[in-house]
């Protein structure tokens, strides 16, 4: 009868299934890791694309807002300029309607020196409602220019009297000397109290 001798301290164990399972699990884990990395990379790319699209949309919105603001400002400026132009036009119309030839001619008749005659008178109305006068006179000599400017300068209705031109005509003419003046003119209604206060009317009456 033979005997079987087992020199191992413990019974023999087969670990190959464990190794196989470990390798399989490791392979599955690597596959899952790679898949997760791909998903994460794709997610990051999609997020980056989405952010880029959002930034592009926000930039388009900002440009649209700026254009809208510019358009609103342009419309407001146009409305203001149109309103201002209309107001200036109305001021000019009012000044033209308030203008009185009778009052101006009577004023000049009382103001001008006796030796000076009026040859031409042309009022101009600007968009601010102010009236400017272009006046042409004739006289016998140049000394009348100084007298005329001094007389008109004393009239509160006339402001900024200036000499525009002077011309010596034919010596055979009875009034060989002509000159033109320019001045700003205020309607008498604005200067009546001033003229009354400084007694200008009394001086003119005495001089005439």
Alpha-carbon distance of 196 to 208, in angstroms, equals 17
Nearest to 156 by CA among 132, 191, 204, 113: 191
pLDDT at 78: 60
In a domain, 183, yes or no: yes
Q: Which two tokens stand for residue 206?
A: 């005495």
CATH code: domain of residue 160: 3.30.1360.100
| Burial track 116-129 (b if 16+ CB lie within 10 A, e otherwise) | beeeeeeeebeeeb
Full residue range of the structural domain in which residue 19 is found: 15-98
Residue 53 host element (H or E): helix 16-98
Q: How many domains does the chain have?
A: 2
- Spell out a b/e string for 16-50, using b for 16 or more CB atoms within 10 Å of the CB, else e: eeeeeeeeeeeeeeeeeeeeeeeeeeeeeeeeeee
Q: How many CB atoms lie within 10 A of CB 58?
A: 10
> What's the pLDDT at 103?
87
Looking at the structure, do residues 93 and 134 belong to the same domain, yes or no?
A: no
Q: What are 74's two structure tokens?
A: 């342009």
Average confidence (pLDDT) per 10 residues, the chain, 208 residues = 53 68 83 85 82 83 81 66 61 75 89 91 84 91 90 91 84 75 80 46 35
> What is the model's pLDDT at position 93?
75
* 6 occurs within a structural domain: no
In the listed set 98, 133, 160, which residue is the last one of a domain according to the structure? 98
Whether residues 65 and 141 fall in one domain? no
């Amino acid at each position: 009868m033979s005997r079987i001798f087992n020199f191992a301290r413990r019974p023999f164990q087969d670990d190959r299934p464990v190794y196989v399972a470990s390798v399989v699990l490791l392979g599955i884990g690597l596959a899952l890791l790679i898949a997760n990395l791909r998903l994460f990379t794709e997610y990051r790319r999609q997020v980056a694309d989405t952010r880029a699209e959002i930034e592009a949309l926000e930039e388009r919105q900002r440009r649209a807002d700026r254009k809208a603001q510019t358009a609103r400002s342009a419309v407001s400026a146009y409305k203001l300029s149109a309103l201002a132009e209309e107001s200036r036009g109305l001021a000019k119309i009012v000044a033209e309607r308030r203008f009185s030839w009778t009052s101006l001619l009577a004023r000049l008749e009382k103001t001008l020196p006796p030796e000076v005659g009026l040859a031409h008178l042309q009022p101009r109305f600007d968009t601010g409602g102010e009236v400017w006068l272009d006046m042409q006179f004739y006289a016998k000599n140049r000394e009348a220019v100084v007298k005329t400017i001094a007389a008109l300068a004393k009239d509160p209705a006339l402001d900024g009297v200036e000499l525009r031109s002077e011309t010596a005509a034919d010596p055979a003419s009875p009034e060989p000397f002509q000159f033109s003046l320019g001045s700003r003119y205020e309607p008498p209604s604005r200067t009546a109290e001033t003229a009354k206060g400084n007694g200008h009317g009394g001086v003119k009456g005495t001089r005439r």
